[in-house]
Homo-oligomer: A and B are copies of this chain.
Amino acid sequence: MPRSRITIRDVADRAGVSHQTVSRVINNSERVTPETRERVKVAIKELGYRPSRLAQSMVTQKTRTIGLVVADITNPFFFEVARGVQDTALAQGYNVFVCNTDDNPQGEQDILTLLASQEVDGVILATVSSPEEELLAFAENYKPLVVINRDIPHPKASLVSVDILKGAKLAVEHLIERGHRNIAMLSHIGHKPDEMRRVHGYRETLLAHDITPNEEWLVLAPPNLAGGYEATQTLLKEHPEVTAIFTYNDLMAIGALRSCHDMGMRVPQDCAVMGFDDIKFSAMTQPSLSSISYDKYVVGQKAMQRLFEMFEEPDFTFAPIPLGVELVIREST
């Protein structure tokens, strides 16, 4: 049973043709007599032959494999994107390596190197941590690169961008309409607030309504449940005047929800909470969470489709793909 691999030459012998003819049949191209083709197909079936992708890749220099780099697959945002990428890739016979960087720039660099040595045909990047110059270097020397939610000014890198700025504005505007003026924000501790579109949207919207942003109400924490929980504890103890919280993502918002509950505050009466991403859990929390919604699956899908386009026309510079956002109002505001 550990019979050694059946090769294209075994099939050729069996069908009484040359290995090249077999190659023509499996790439169902070229001109092969119908009857020869049939004979070869029979031989393939009888021997249970399957071409070695490795050998094919070796000579064609294409692996039909792509890399997807995410900060943490554990975040519902990323895995919905990942599903979109995977499903789209699989439909074309491509496989996907998913890599987590944990928002660690060094990890990200290692990952890119690993992917490079695995000889993937392209990379989709959905993180924000690695230094721009390294990404540029990667795009320059290497393979097609699609970047999600980040601006990389390079002709060989293609962009898929959710309109985060607008999302943040919609969110904060909604809170202002509900009568809030003391609006806090929980942002991602891994990134400089000044570089975050969510923070820009937050500040700009406040200013547009003649509210001066209070820097003490801008709290940085890990972008997960625990981070949101703890940041809210601290924030509300130190700044009881805050009546609404806008968070970096729904994970933090759900942590904030629980935090408010544990401190005996009612949401939204005592403190409103507004998330971002609209993950599936958000409709199920109690109270359910208002959020900024966009189709994460489609983000992944579009990114993968763009990568396919880049395979076709490697030297073309593609326009960014914009994706809209929507305000979803639920009980938490």
Contacts and interface: CB of A to CB of B under 8 A. Distances in A.
B141 A50 contact: no
Contacts of A52: 119
Contacts of A50: 116-117
Closest 6 CB pairs of A and B: A258-B284, A286-B286, A95-B97, A225-B284, A98-B98, A73-B79
Contacts of A244: none
Contact of A257 (B63, B283, B286): B286
Interface in A258-277: 258, 261
A284 B229 contact: yes
A18 interface: no
A95 B82 CA distance: 16
12 contacts: A1-B140, A1-B141, A50-B116, A51-B117, A53-B117, A73-B82, A79-B79, A97-B97, A255-B284, A257-B286, A258-B286, A261-B286
Interface of A: 1, 50-55, 57-58, 63, 65, 72-74, 76, 79-80, 82-83, 86-87, 90, 93, 95-100, 114, 116-119, 140-141, 224-225, 229, 254-255, 257-258, 261, 280-281, 283-288
